[in-house]
Amino acid sequence: MMSDSDKTPRTASPKKWALIGTTALTGLGLALGSSGQPAHADGAAPMLLAQATISGEAGEAGEGAIETDDSGVEFLVHLGLFDAAIRIVGTLYALGEVAEAKDQLETSHHADYADLEEGLAEFSQNGFIDEYTEFSDLVLSGADAAAVAAAESRLLAAIRATHGADGLSTRDAFEAMVHLIETAAADFEAGVDAGRVAEPHEYRDAWGFVETVRATASDLAASKDATVARAAADVLAALEPAAALFPALNAQTVGSDASILYAAAGRIRFTILKVE
């Protein structure tokens, strides 16, 4: 992610966007860093999740490339980053901030379909390039807000369907949620200074990651598997305190306690013990 002063425009064609890089997460099973709070009280790194290896130079909020031992978790993290980018663009557009929505789509490191192509192939998914192209074309052309909203709904539904691919487990989904919330916490810290939104892109990314996890948990809460449904309900409850941090996507003053997000990530990590 980047500050407004560092934005470099990207070509609008989804297939041609360069793979700039993905958010380096605080690490599956790695002690939390920027909050100063270790994942365990004794400072030991939890071993529940696949270890992450960070490569490349880190930028703002720990940005870089990531490799994990679990391709399912890695793919779902990339899918979550992409999902969040779409939600941010769609919400900005719905708020009437069309220029900001276009800018977010063109400059976001996460609204890059190319990031997903390897994972889509690995898990035998056809993908959703048509839905993405429709959505991005409507946004960039300044189309009617209702048309953009309808296209966003179709795209998000297509993304959601991909979660059910063979080879992706429910446990993978919960582990990916931990990644996304820890990343949201790091981005929130980078974007908010003493309750003031100093870096809107960072703040919006944090908002998007939380909303993506909330949507995924809501889907899982409707599972016929009672254990999965309860675990997902626990995730939704863990996210409730975060509402104070995100009064609106275009807010200028917000709550400033990122530890709320780190605590939520810890609670979600605990739910993984309940899921096969």
In a domain, 2, yes or no: no
pTM across the whole model: 0.77
In a domain, 156, yes or no: yes
In a domain, 233, yes or no: yes
In a domain, 1, yes or no: no
In a domain, 6, yes or no: no
Confidence tier at 66 by pLDDT (50, 70, 90): very low
Indicate the average pLDDT of the chain. Answer: 80
* The pLDDT value given to residue 135: 98
In a domain, 116, yes or no: yes
In a domain, 3, yes or no: no
In a domain, 221, yes or no: yes
DSSP calls for the chain:
---GGG-----S-GGG------BPPS-TTPPP-TTS--SSTT-PPP-SS--EEEES---TTSBSEEEES-HHHHHHHHHHHHHHHHHHHHHHHHTT-HHHHHHHHHH-SS--THHHHHHHHHTT----HHHHHHHHHHHHTT--HHHHHHHHHHHHHHHHHHTT-TT--HHHHHHHHHHHHHHHHHHHHHHEETTEES-HHHHHHHHHHHHHHHHHHHHHHT-SSHHHHHHHHHHHHHHGGGGGG-S-TT-SB----THHHHHHHHHHHHHGGG--
pLDDT tens by residue, 206-262: 999 999 999 999 999 999 999 999 999 999 999 999 999 999 999 999 998 999 999
Confidence tier at 68 by pLDDT (50, 70, 90): low
Domain extent for 248? 11-274
pLDDT tens by residue, 74-115: 999 999 999 999 999 999 999 999 999 999 999 998 989 998
> How many domains does the chain contain in total?
1
